[in-house]
Amino acid sequence: MRPWPELVRLPILTTLVGCLAGCGSGGGLTSPAPTIVVDGSSTVFRISKAAQEAFASVDPDVTVVVDNHGTGGGFGRYLQGEVDIVDASRDAKPDEKEKAWSQALEWTRFVVGYDGITLAVNAKNDFARSITVDQLKKLWEADSKVVTWKDLDPSWPDRKIVLYSPDNDSGTFEFFVEAILGKGKHPRDGVQQSSDDNILVNGVVGDPDGLGYFGYAYYADNKERLKALAVQAGAEAPPVAPSPETIADKSYKPLSRPLYIFVKNSSTKRPEMASFLSYYLDNVSTLAVTGRYDPPTPEDIEANKAALASLTAKSGDDAAQAVAKPSTP
C-alpha cells in the first residue's frame, strides 16, 4: 500500500491531537481548580479545618488545603510565597513582619478565637491539683534542677516527672515559654517534644508521671483520660482551672491568648479567596466553638469587619489600577 501524502496525514494528526486535548471537557482545555492554601498553628488548625469543611458545601469547586506545621512553620512557608493564610497561635514577630513587608508580602490580621494553654497530667495522678507560675518557671527554666515531683512540692511523690511539649516551631511553645520564663528565655533540655498535639496527649495519657501542655481543645477532647491543673498566677491569687468561662473572662492567666489568621493581601484579589475569607469571618464564632475554643468578642468581630472592608477596598483599587494601566507592547 502506498503511504499517505504528507498533506493528507497532517490535518488528520492535528484533528486527533485537538480531540485528545478536549476530551472530557466539552471540547475545550480544562483549567485547574482554584486552590487556597492555609498552614500554621496546630491550635488554630481546628478552626480553619472547620471553615474548610463548611465552605465545601458552599463552593465545592474551590479546593481549600489546611495543614499544621506550627505557627513558625506557617510563617516560614508564607515568606516563601507558598500559602495564602497563616494560622497563628501567637502574634507575628518583628522579624517575620519585616521580611514579609520587604518582599511585598503584606498581610492583614484577624482574631478568630481565644484559647487557654492547658497543663495536663495523667488521670491517675491523685496529688497534683494546681501549680503555681513560680513552680512552672522552676520546672521549665534552662538550668532547672527539678527532677521529681517532690522537688516541686515536698508533699508530692519522689518520682521522676516526664515532660511533654510542642516543638520549637509551635506558637503554643513560644507563647508558653515567654509567659512563664520571660521574653528571650529558653527552656530546659530533656523534654519530649512533638509538632502533633495528639502525640503529646497520648504521651501524658500513657505515662502516670507525665506532665504536658497544649491548646485547651486537645484537653477538652480527652477529659476522660487527662486531668487539667489549675494555675496560680501569684502568691495572693487563687488557682484557676482552664475553662471556656475563665478563658473568656481572662481570669485564667497568664496562659489565655488570642488566636489569629494572617491573610495575604494580594491573595484576596482572587474571587475564590475573597469568598472563602468572607465566609470564614461571617461564621467565625460558630467555627471557633466547633474547634472547641472561645469565639472572638463583639469588639473583635467589629474590628474584623473593619479590617476586611479596608482590605476589600484596597484589593478593588489595585484591580482597578491594573485595568487602567496600559499594557506594555
Side-chain-facing half-sphere of 224: CA atoms under 13 Å: 1
- Helix, strand, or coil (residue 95): helix
- Rounded to 5 degrees, what angle do the CA atoms 87, 46, 228 make? 110
Distance (Å, whole) CA 233 – CA 230: 10
Whether 226 has a pLDDT exceeding 60, the answer reads: yes
Q: Is the peptide bond before 254 cis (omega within 30 degrees of 0)?
A: yes
Tens-place pLDDT, residues 228-264: 999 999 988 999 999 999 999 999 999 999 999 999 9
Over residues 75-100, the mean pLDDT reads 97
Residue carrying the nine cell digits 469588639: 299
Burial, 275: exposed, middle or buried (Cβ in 10 Å; 0-12, 13-18, 19+)? middle
The DSSP line for 182-222 is: -TT--B-S--EEES-HHHHHHHHHT-TTEEEEE-HHHHHTT
Amino acid 33: pLDDT: 81
List, in order of start, the domains of the chain with CATH numbers. 35-114+257-324 (3.40.190.10), 118-254 (3.40.190.10)
User: What percentage of the chain exceeds 90 in pLDDT?
Assistant: 84
Over pLDDT 70: what percentage of the chain?
86
Give the whole-angstrom CA distance, residue 212 versus residue 132: 15
Query: Chain-wide mean pLDDT for the chain?
Result: 89
Res. 314 pLDDT band, cuts 50 70 90 = confident
196 Cα distance to chain centroid = 12
- What confidence score (pLDDT) does residue 28 get? 52
Q: What is the pLDDT of residues 189-217, one digit of tens each?
A: 999 999 999 999 999 999 999 999 999 99
Taking CA atoms, 204 is separated from 64, 119, 192, 198, 215, in Å, by: 33, 10, 10, 10, 14
Over residues 77-85, mean pLDDT: 97
pLDDT of the residue at 29: 55
Q: What is the pLDDT of residues 109-154, one digit of tens each?
A: 999 999 999 999 999 999 999 999 999 999 999 999 999 999 999 9
